[in-house]
Amino acid sequence: MGRSFALAQRLSKLPPYLFVEIDRLKQEAIRRGMDIINLGIGDPDLPTPPHIVRRMQEAAADRRNHQYPSYEGMLSFRQAAAEWYGKRFGVTLDPETEVLSLIGSKEGIGHTPLAFVDPGDVVLIPDPGYPVYQAGTIFAEGVPHFMPLTQQGGFLPDFRAIPADVLRKARILFLNYPNNPTATVAPGTFFAEAVAFARKHGLILCHDAAYSEMAFDGYLPESLLAVEGAKEVAIEYHSLSKTYNMTGWRIGFAVGCREVLAGLGRIKTNLDSGVFQAVQEAAIAALKGPQDCVDEMRATYRERRDALVDGLSALGFAVNRPKATFYVWIGVPKGHTSASFASALLSGIGIVMTPGTGFGRHGEGFVRAALTVDVPRIREAVQRIAASNLKPQ
């Protein structure tokens, strides 16, 4: 028999990976011959725009791109990110010190606590929220403190509810608007409040803005860095994954406070070797090229959103029409928990949605649907629910 190797204790502190159970139920349903409509995963089904793919093909053939890239990212990529940021948000950035390339925003989010959190330090995390905020904290041996996002509070954290003894130990505050999983958007006044709070308590404010371009009905999300003084305490993570349908390409960037970016950069120089330069060239083509592909993406998700929200609302579900993201946050029918409803949807009628509790304790009572299938499949999902006993009574 081979040796048994004990896992590090930090892994035991991670919450159970809920999606393993969802995948088990999905495979079981497939074995029974069930046709699965997957609204569970936040991965765009739309292809990367052709002009970006063509630039990647050209750059991949250029032997100058076959060596190690620079750790902080090609200056031309950082300049393109700064120019895009200035046009989109009206915020001026120094591409040399206020922009850092990332291997997707997930990587930057997960590595930030390693640069600034010592064992026992506290990280303030939204609940429900993207699981990487908690995982990165645990890997840095920090202590997560969860800020409830409740329907009554508009799915915004109440900073006044954070205990004084927690604040004294806190180093980082994570925020994410437009929000995954609730699809909530934040007003500029909230960003101003968050910056003032971070400045008052000496916190690093980390804003995950991965969904800033997935917005509808004339709404355009603001940048937290547009708040006066924000660059002294805050960084924002951006991703090309959702905006340009480039999830598999693994390219993003962080912008803002140069001191925080320098710390994150020191972690990265020791743990990775940067982003393949051909991918950076493709990202430049995305940021500097025609943006009609982004408009088309928004129109596609808006149509899908309306098909799902209108269909579920007609069946009596409690569901808001989101202004941004490609998620819909759906209240579960009476008599169900998040997990039991998601399980019944999957095993009973072949629809995958994610239980809200997969994103934290305060996600109870909701499931998240991702708008990653076309309108006919969304309408079919609504029809299956209508014909089942899973709709509200």
Give residue 76's pLDDT band: very low, low, confident or very high (50, 70, 90): very high
pLDDT at 175: 98
Contact predicate 174/235, CB 8 Å? no
Measured distance CA(173)–CA(51) in Å, rounded: 37
pTM (predicted TM-score): 0.96
At residue 241's C-alpha, the angle toward residues 21 and 12, to 5°, is 35
Average of per-residue pLDDT across 281-310: 98
| Tens-digit pLDDT profile for residues 157-204 | 999 999 999 999 999 999 999 999 999 999 989 999 999 999 999 999
pLDDT at 20: 72
| Tens-digit pLDDT profile for residues 90-135 | 999 999 999 999 999 999 999 999 999 999 999 999 999 999 999 9
| Tens-digit pLDDT profile for residues 268-292 | 999 999 999 999 999 999 999 999 9
Residue 149 reports pLDDT greater than 60: yes
Contact predicate 119/100, CB 8 Å? no
Residue 331 reports pLDDT greater than 60: yes
Q: How many helices (H) and strands (E) does the chain have?
A: 14, 12
User: Per DSSP, what are the bridge partners of residue 327?
Assistant: 370
Pairing of strands 99-102, 252-256: antiparallel
Contact predicate 281/59, CB 8 Å? yes
Average of per-residue pLDDT across 313-338: 97
Cis amide bond preceding 290, omega within 30: no
Measured distance CA(252)–CA(107) in Å, rounded: 9
If you search the block for the tokens 């076309």, which residue do you land on?
A: 374
Number of residues in the chain: 393
Residue 1 reports pLDDT greater than 60: no
Q: Which domains does the chain have, with CATH numbers?
A: 10-47+293-386 (3.90.1150.10), 50-288 (3.40.640.10)
Torsion of CA 181, 105, 246, 249, to 10 degrees: -140
Q: Which two tokens stand for residue 106?
A: 């997930």
| Tens-digit pLDDT profile for residues 6-57 | 889 998 888 876 667 777 888 888 898 889 999 998 888 999 999 999 999 9
Mean per-residue pLDDT over the chain, rounded: 95
Give the side-chain half-sphere CA count within 13 A for 172. Answer: 32
Collapse the DSSP code of 174 into the 3-class scheme (helix H, G, I; strand E, B; otherwise coil) and give the result: strand
Residue 2 reports pLDDT greater than 70: no
If you search the block for the tokens 């040399």, which residue do you land on?
A: 96
Measured distance CA(241)–CA(197) in Å, rounded: 30
Measured distance CA(329)–CA(355) in Å, rounded: 10
